[in-house]
Structure 1
Amino acid sequence: MTASRPDGVDPAPNPHATAEQVAAAMEDTKLAQVLYHDWEAETYDDKWSISYDERCIEYAKGRFVAAAGEQNLPYERALELGCGTGFFLLNLMQGGVAKSGSVTDLSPGMVKVALRNAEHLGLDVDGRVADAETIPYEDDTFDLVVGHAVLHHIPDVEQSLREVLRVLKPGGRFVFAGEPSTVGNFYARWLGRITWEATTTITKLPFLSDWRRPQTELDESSRAAALEAVVDLHTFDPSDLEKIARSAGAVNVKASSEEFAAALLGWPVRTFEAAVPPEKLGWNWAKFAFGGWKSLSWVDENVLKHVVPRSFFYNVMITGVKPGK
């Protein structure tokens, strides 16, 4: 079974936003979402070290189980909201969480890449370009709705969750992971900014020039960073996110959080990777980055989670159920 998309209904990706389009997007958050994510679509997996092998299957399923447990697996049909390149749903499907799936995103470029990834993996997935506040599926369609790092991009989170509950079958579950906490976003932004400035400044030195990306790429990254300030609309306190989900109509709502020490390493690592030529970073770097993240995640889960308030951790996860079954 292969991926498919509706014939002739989705707009084409626009991977190279002009300065004029970026200026217009500063006043239109949904246009900014499309431009920013179309710009990133073809390189997004590389930028965030996303893969569709055991490493990311383990990561995605681990987030799902941490939020919702392992009961009722596999779900028959799942929807990923704000799918990006399909990282969360495709790896969950490979991990036995869902049998078939649908992907949606406001960005045509992201839907295109997600469907291509699904096809390469031989997964039963369809996709649509769609606004998360008006999901283009019938009531009671899905057994599961998932998303990763998507709620903070949506202007009206409560309206989106109402739509999620509408398309879920009674008793169906939603799981959203990877949302930035308010406290975590503060220190992550500062770590990223300091790392970017330090790296791009030091690599101006003549003997480090081969560690510097071409200026055109750095300028384009800076333009994307300007858009990022427009597309990242929210940060969340876990308790507040629980209130939003209950207000939307969900039951059995529970928020949790993870990555404190791991985030303190992860954000400088990711920023450094974005600032230097990718060919400079080989297998040893990847092993260091992933190994360091895993080790610090263990410290977070087994030590710091017992003494640090959940609002201090970077990633927030939320799950809930549609009543009626």
Structure 2
Amino acid sequence: MTGTTDPTPNPHASAEQVAAAWQDPKLANVLYHDWEAGSYDQKWSISYDERCITYATDRFRAVAGETGWPYGHALELGSGTGFFLLNLMQGGVISKGSVTDLSPGMVEVALRNAEHLGLDVDGRVADAERIPYDDDTFDLVVGHAVLHHIPDVPAALREVLRVLKPGGRFVFAGEPTKVGDFYARKLGQLTWWLSTTITKLPALSSWRRPQQELDESSRAAALEAVVDLHTFDPSQLERMALGAGAVDVRAVTEELTAALFGWPVRTFEAAVPQGKLGFGWAMFAYRSWQRLSWLDEKVLSKVVPRELFYNVLITGTKPEGPVSL
């Protein structure tokens, strides 16, 4: 259960709050993710079935291998709706879980998802730079697409090492590289413009989302300029982890052709009415992404510099002795 002092979700921020968020990245993260919490899984095609179980466990395995499975107690930092932790639990990587997020709405949804799945999970609304758990609590700390939202990443990594047990591991996935973020954003912007422009034609009007929904998506997207604080060079991220006191640090990258395909697809899906594309489209998109991911991993990763891929994943462990900073 969440702590009794945790704030309640605020999915309908006032204009004054949104204006203030432009000067306060943490407030922006709370407002943006509370706003998105109820529809986040649908927006990003998140599920808790074999498809996303395989995705989560493959990401974990790619950077950290299979040693240590199952981890006894794991924390997900910046959990969102619980996508990474809950699917790792279902995949046999983790036995017991805890979720934290700066957004009360996301923690609420994550705990509801865990309850529906029958998983042993508790949660707290928490700042990643001040994790509200004792030293040496967790066997594993995980996160997916979270580090780039945190103002002080080195401070968060030091907190991660503090709450890990000696020898405990952290795994962060889904972080944008500098180059990957550039081309993903450009592709997303172009796709959004094309989709919302073409569907103004009378013959395609049934493919246009209601203007109010488009306006809300645009306002939410505008806040991404505030909540997305960092992009990473893989070597830079490794140095951050080492500087925080971690050992056995390793970063890998993934998704090149898969990202060039995936970002336009996801943007197009957000621009058309919900349910318009149907199951056939979903399977086409997923199978295409799978094939391109295989190409990226098995072929391109051997010849293309890792800095050019879209996602960076990083792992490391807490030293068995005291952490030296």
TM-score range, shorter chain: over 0.9
Q: CA RMSD in A?
A: 0.7
Tell me which residue corresponds to 2:80: 84
Tell me which residue corresponds to 1:182: 178
After superposition, the C-alpha distances for 1:9-39 in whole angstroms (9 at most, x for unaligned) are 1111111222222111000110000000000
- Within the candidate set 47, 50, 59, 1:51 is matched to 47
Tell me which residue corresponds to 1:193: 189
Would the aligned equivalents of 2:149 and 2:229 in 1 still touch at CA under 8 Å? yes
Q: Secondary structure at the match of 1:254?
A: strand
Alpha-carbon separation, structure 2, partners of 1:102 and 1:293: 30
Q: How is 1:252-291 mapped onto 2 (pairs within 5 angstroms)? A: 252-291=248-287
The CA deviation at 1:180 is 0.2
- Within the candidate set 2, 6, 22, 1:5 is matched to 2
Tell me which residue corresponds to 1:95: 91
Q: Secondary structure at the match of 2:92?
A: coil
- Within the candidate set 64, 68, 81, 1:68 is matched to 64
Alpha-carbon separation, structure 2, partners of 1:159 and 1:242: 14
Tell me which residue corresponds to 2:114: 118
Tell me which residue corresponds to 2:123: 127
Q: Which moved more, 1:13-22 or 1:59-68?
A: 13-22
Tell me which residue corresponds to 1:322: 318
- Within the candidate set 301, 304, 318, 2:300 is matched to 304
Q: Secondary structure at the match of 2:13?
A: coil
Q: How is 1:31-50 mapped onto 2 (pairs within 5 angstroms)? A: 31-50=27-46
After superposition, the C-alpha distances for 1:153-209 in whole angstroms (9 at most, x for unaligned) are 000000000000000000000000000000000000000000000000001111111
Q: Secondary structure at the match of 2:45?
A: coil
Tell me which residue corresponds to 2:155: 159
Tell me which residue corresponds to 1:104: 100
Structure 2 runs not aligned, ≥5 long? none
Give the aligned length. 321
Alpha-carbon separation, structure 2, partners of 1:109 and 1:30: 14
TM-score, normalised with respect to structure 2 = 0.98
Alpha-carbon separation, structure 2, partners of 1:61 and 1:16: 35
After superposition, the C-alpha distances for 1:103-122 in whole angstroms (9 at most, x for unaligned) are 00000000000000000000
Q: Secondary structure at the match of 1:24?
A: helix
Amino acid at match of 1:232: D
Would the aligned equivalents of 2:79 and 2:143 in 1 still touch at CA under 8 Å? yes
Q: Secondary structure at the match of 2:98?
A: strand
Structure 1 runs not aligned, ≥5 long? none
Would the aligned equivalents of 2:2 and 2:125 in 1 still touch at CA under 8 Å? no
- Within the candidate set 159, 164, 171, 2:167 is matched to 171
Alpha-carbon separation, structure 2, partners of 1:209 and 1:19: 30
Tell me which residue corresponds to 1:143: 139
Alpha-carbon separation, structure 2, partners of 1:49 and 1:226: 21
TM-score, normalised with respect to structure 1 = 0.98
The CA deviation at 1:5 is 2.0
Alpha-carbon separation, structure 2, partners of 1:236 and 1:276: 31
Q: Secondary structure at the match of 1:22?
A: helix
Q: Secondary structure at the match of 2:275?
A: helix
Amino acid at match of 2:97: G
After superposition, the C-alpha distances for 1:23-72 in whole angstroms (9 at most, x for unaligned) are 11000110000000000001000000000000000000000000100011
